[in-house]
Structure 1
Amino acid sequence: MPQANRMYSVVIGAVNGKFSDVFAKLATLHAKQNFAFAIIAGDLCAKSDIATDADREELAKLLRGEITVPLSTYFALGRQPLPDEVVDLLEKGHGELCSNLSILGRKVSMKTADGFWIVAVGGAHSASIDQSMSQYAAEYTNDDAQAAGKGLTNADIVVTSDWPAHVQDGTKNRYTGTPPPSVDSIANLCTSLKPRYHFSASEAFYEREPFFHNGPSPRSVTRFISLAPYGNTAKAKWIYAFSLEPAVDASKHLPPGCTASPLTGGKKRKLESQESDFNSFRYANGNGTDHYRPDQRRQKRSRNNPPPIPNQCYFCLSNPSCEKHMIGSIGAEVYLTVAKGPLSTHQTFPELGFPGHVLMIPYEHQPTMSAISDAATRQATVTEVQRYRDALQRMLVEKTKGEDGRAKLGAVTWEISRHSGVHFHWQFLPVPVDMVQRGLVEAGFDKEAENLNYPKFVKGFKEMQEIEEGNFFKVMIWSEALRKEMVMPLDGDFRFDLQFGRRVLGKLMGLAQRTHWKDCAQTVAEETADVEAFKKGFKEFDFSFEE
């Protein structure tokens, strides 16, 4: 990316009345870096109940113009009330306290001289406030948070006194101590504006891994950083320099360690309520049942009960109930999760260290790959889901090589593609390589289709292409020495078992009792352990870490 327009700025935690020291240090840094502007994310003034005579004299010197503020600096309305004399000057000066020092206020959006949009919500959260109070009163409501970003679809920087709710979900970086209050309306603000940086202040320094927001590619990425106060005894970071380029599009590549946005996550569902909360459509490709029958009666019911929209679909990251703790890798167009209620167990493939049943899920909320309307996005999704399958297969080779140098495992990938479906995805499962080489996997699918009076699988390239223009079930069988694909048309008037792929492989591997995912439920702790083991095993093959 070109760097010609990139500008450096700096953010500071709570100053707490130490104006001379902080602005002197800022002047030294500014002389070297030529910052575009500075932001004070925490309290500017000392707390009134513990302010010393020296603190009061410092404030008087600042207000008299005897302390130089070296560059344009915007200070947040912190959680502590401002001194009366400060409020008086702000009201008279329309938000300017002294030369180069202006307040961001309780609810504000502004554009800097360099073209950066800053949105701020200051003060402590309150259910309601007296609207006749000063605009510089250190309180805000949910309505204030909503109003701050009104009319904007994005921002470069968001500054808030409170943290967004759930910001510590799905992260390995935990805050030490008691974090500031976290508020849903602040999370909603961040989700709505998708800022490049979200700054706050706290008693200790905290930086979360960057997270991406749901939406079309390239996806907006936010970095959440909370600064410690100046002069803190732990010597935690109180100042942070960062760079931005105005009016630049989001990068096509997600930064290393990036996670899905935690801000849409709600409370985790309890294990006992999984069946009703998840419904079958998430793990059975379904319509609320475990079978698919494309007849007139089924279509009539579908019209009465339309398929879930993205914020209701459990494969869409914008759904508040999406279980992000199960995500194992995040690509540009596709993400991987460990399977809910996996068919295989830890004992099935002990050399892997995890069950191995994985889902590859595109971000696009479409029932089939062909339904993705944008041609570039469709091709990018096809390319990436195939790239993920190749990476998973390479992992199996490297982790299961025998003394002869050959892998002990092959794999089966299957998909159900239906125009009346919900959210297209592939399922991936390792299998003993002997089952692939001896043709047992292929024969197992053929035989089970025959037993259920399903249409025969088609295996010729041209015939498969024709069938894939409609509704179909596809199986991709792989080993180091063999590749095989087979497709079953689903356009006929018959009742198709959406657990068909699991059913066949379960019988082949002696796991028939685990055919349905609902019979294999795990606790959140077990699921989390599985995904961490998968990440560790897949890391060297995971191209999403590449720049």
Structure 2
Amino acid sequence: MASSQSSPVKILTVGAAVGSIRDIFNKVKAINAKHGKFDILLFSGDFFGPPKEAAEYSDDDEVIQLLSGSLQSPIECFIMQGEHPLPPPVIEKFAATGGALAQNLFLLQKSGLVTTAHGLRIACLGGIFDENLYSVAESPHGFTSPYFTSHTVEKLISNSMSQSTPSSGKGTSYTSLAQIKASASPNEFVDILISNTFPNNITAHSTASCPSPSFPGEGAEPVAELVRRTKPRYHFVAGRGGQKIPMFWEREPYTWDKDNGRITRFVSLGAFGGPPDPTAGKKQRWFYAFSIAPQAPNTPAPATPPNATANPLVQLGFHRGMKRPFDQGETEAENFRWGKVNPTGKRNRIVGQEGKPPPGYKCKICESSEHFINDCPDRAKPKEGYVCRICNEAGHFVRDCPTKNQVGDTGGRKPKEGYVCRACGSEAHYLQDCPSATQPQHSRRAKGPPKEIAPDECWFCLSNPKLAKHLIVSIGNECYVTLPKGQIIPTHTQADYPDGSVPSVPGGGHVLIVPITHYPTYASIPTDLSEPILEETRKYEAALGAFYSAHNAQSVSFEVGRISAKGGHAHIQVIPIPRSLSPDAIANAFISEGSRLGIDLDYEDISTALHTGDRGYFKVSLPDGRHLIHWLRDGVPFGIQFGRQVIVSLLGIPDRFDWKQCVQSEDEDRADVQAFKAAFSSFEPNL
């Protein structure tokens, strides 16, 4: 092993194959014959492309041929998850083998780390980033989800302190990857990081020409933090980064001054199987060949490349006109194909007086000669059509959202959309900030099941003294009906929505039907107790439908049945919708928005679909009696405001999405209750 530590390892890194498996293997064979032989082949981005249903994979499908061994990689290689869920047959094979999909082919975990027999540490972060979903999940997402979470990143950082090696200990075979052994590692550093998502701010301090003025779009701060912790010597990204297609871009090397002059080289790769660049009319460069020697703890610091820049991921406090000089030495790793050359082919930045650009320089964004591209004021502006995912407003990026760091109702940080406090059911504070929680402060890594809520702590139980009883409009034998806080329908501010399609139902008409007895979901009610509760719920739904009809409206209802919340109280939200909207239009709105968010909704027979209470679900009841159901999956977040999100869009009142922004005074609530009760009294069911 000692000799291999000093020998350079030749690596070929390839962008997204997007399912063109046989074709890319043939290309790799040709490259290997002409420029190899390579020791390792790394695939970044989507190797398989969009998945299909398991039954759609026939014997002549390239995925099945790969898994069966009839289609083989020419070089021992590692692949990762890109922006799509992995195909079901691949996940099944991974579960059985721990990573070895076929001879010479190994799938890295979503947050994977391996140490090769050559001594190289290769880390992988698969999936895509969503600001709203990142901190919501209770566990890391698996391959069935396209997203990574805070747990995914924490797991990778934790694993970077350990070292995994193929148990064979030989450089010619990785057939026992499933039996990788762990041993102590002196630090978190890795040699190579492959990710599908860009780190935030990666283009800062760089003069390397970008393939697009908007490249790479908005990066992810969690990826930047991962880079800061692991300090990879090479970082490859194959995701689109806000572009229509993955694009090639090689950044100048940047340094880590406090870590023995460690150097990071960043490369964005185009896709092999993707479409050509519509502006250039040709495909982006999709492969990158290099050589890298393993480093021991006592390896001398590498010479700083002449074109190195300040680090874009740390605050160095440097002045552009007073940048420290870099040593004029050799590059850290010699490129096996071109030798010791400037890999970007770009000249080093020449700074003019007082940090201004030299004569003849023009900013590629606004064509000004007064500033560098990284200082362009237009660079901080989102492109046309961009909408912040936190507040749904245009004009700023997520990182600049004024609501990003809002304070919750108990003084702590405000949770992201979809979070529910497990102690009291509130969406306005985290568990550790909850005044009802009896346990000590919990960290995100806390173990054990969440605390189950007692009825006197539940926001929907009549025994809770904090229940907003002044909003209740009807009480039956098994259920009660209440107006919600911050209902969707505006009642005292109708004039603020001249373009909305808001029905004129007295008191607004948006209500909750809530079983009096505490159950997490309707489906979890024991069979021997459920019939009277379900019957009364159906009577209320029918009465509300007739009530709405008298005001030229129809009812749409939905239920979020979350089993994992350990303390939710079953309830159904019923909202009036104009009769001018057809049931098909309403269904298509839910299906379309769900598809955009990775939420699959199917028509199902409600009498057979919810036969068991051990599955989480989201259910929509349409005006014509049909039902749409989405089954919640473990490890995949679901925003509990999804139903409200679709309804406000249908009604043309997107400002009513956040219920907390729609909360009224108690006097206004009481006026709505009186108006609703007076109009609903003749429709109230005979219980």
Instruction: Identify the TM-score tier after normalising by the shorter chain.
Output: 0.3 to 0.5
Pick the structure with more strand per residue. Answer: 1
Pick the structure with more helix per residue. Answer: 1
Q: TM-score, normalised by structure 1?
A: 0.48
